Chains A and B, each alone.
Chain A
Amino acid sequence: MLSIAVASSGQHQDAGAKMYHLAPRTTSKITSKSISRDGGRASYRGLVSISPRAKEARSRVVCDALIMDAKSRSDTYPTNRVLNNEVILEHEAYVSKIGVEQLYYLMSRGMSEAEAQTLIVRGFLEPVVGELPMEYAVELNRLVKLEMEGSVG
């Protein structure tokens, strides 16, 4: 499951995924990326439930969040429930803002601030975009660019 959530002004995006492992030897992966900006609030809410019958199940959850400015907030509420012992379950999450050093570095190479921001956001979304079909990935890249153009960091 791949997901991207962008929360802008006045929005509270509460998105995520639920994975129920009911059969043995099943695997799942959740990759969730969220961006909050202009006072938006992005939340990830997820569940991985592994039933007693689902022996040797494997699951991996990665949810990362990017906070663009001081008005915005970000939350994650994952639940990992494991009801048998032959399971490998991993979960990781990371929240950060755009690094000023990263911005300065890119700007020192001749990019405008907006361009640099767009590049960082694209890099942040890359793991998701990379798995999309080509046509859709192109559309998404355009969308990110459009979204970012109107904003002043």
Chain B
Amino acid sequence: MKTISKKYNKPGKHEITIPFDKEGQEKAWLGVVDARAEGEYELEILAWHTAPSTGGRITVRGVVGKGASLTVRGMIKIEKQAQKIDDFLEIRILLLDPSARATAEPKLEIEADDVRASHAASVGKIDETQILYLASRGLSEKQAREEIVKGFLGV
């Protein structure tokens, strides 16, 4: 499955629809939100299954910095005629500063019955033990944080 990657690093609202309208279609979609600059970021994703036997893997990763807020709304919508669907939506958000704010809304709307649809969301901060480990290897705290963010965003 080929992954479609998208990057968002400017404040504002971004709306994305990922259609699954051909039978047997499979798509992997990765959205990376870099909200380290101040501002309000909004990402709205709709994975819309109108054809049967379609599969999706939707992943959103975001980092939120000082004075920034990030809202991610992800919806998996499965229409009645779209049976045999397998979709997974994942939202992972890392808060880098005490003033960072995040809202994650992973939603499902399912009218078919022969489906496997699941989602997961987590919001948290950088694990201090990871920073300690990197610091023990000679990185400064700042470098360690940067490396962890890089690894998290996969860039």
Contacts and interface: CB of A to CB of B under 8 A. Distances in A.
Interface of A: 65, 67-97
A76 B95 contact: no
What are the nearest 9 A-B pairs in CB distance? Answer: A85-B95, A91-B121, A94-B118, A67-B113, A89-B123, A73-B111, A82-B123, A80-B104, A76-B108
B39 to A, nearest CB: 16
A98 to B, nearest CB: 9
B119 A93 contact: yes
Nearest to B114: A97
Contacts of A79: 103-105
Contacts of B116: 94-96
B97 interface: yes
Interface residues of B, number: 32
B134 interface: no
B98 A85 contact: yes
A138 B119 CA distance: 32
Interface of B: 93, 95-125
Given A70-B112, A78-B121, 6 more contacts: A77-B107, A78-B105, A80-B105, A84-B98, A86-B125, A95-B118
Contacts of A80: 103-105, 121, 123
Given A70-B112, A77-B105, A97-B113, A86 B118 contact: no
A95 B117 contact: yes
Given A93-B108, A94-B118, A95-B118, A83 B113 contact: no
B118 to A, nearest CB: 4
Given A88-B124, A89-B123, A96-B115, A74 B100 contact: no
Contacts of B115: 67, 95-97
A91 to B, nearest CB: 4
Residue of B93, B98, B108, B117 with most chain A CB atoms under a 10 A cut-off: B108
Contacts of A81: 101-103
Contacts of B113: 67-72, 97
Contacts of B125: 85-87
A84 B103 CA distance: 11
Contacts of B100: 85
A26 to B, nearest CB: 15
B149 to A, nearest CB: 13
A37 to B, nearest CB: 10
Nearest to B124: A88
B108 A95 contact: yes
Given A76-B107, A78-B107, A95-B110, A89 B117 contact: no
B10 to A, nearest CB: 22
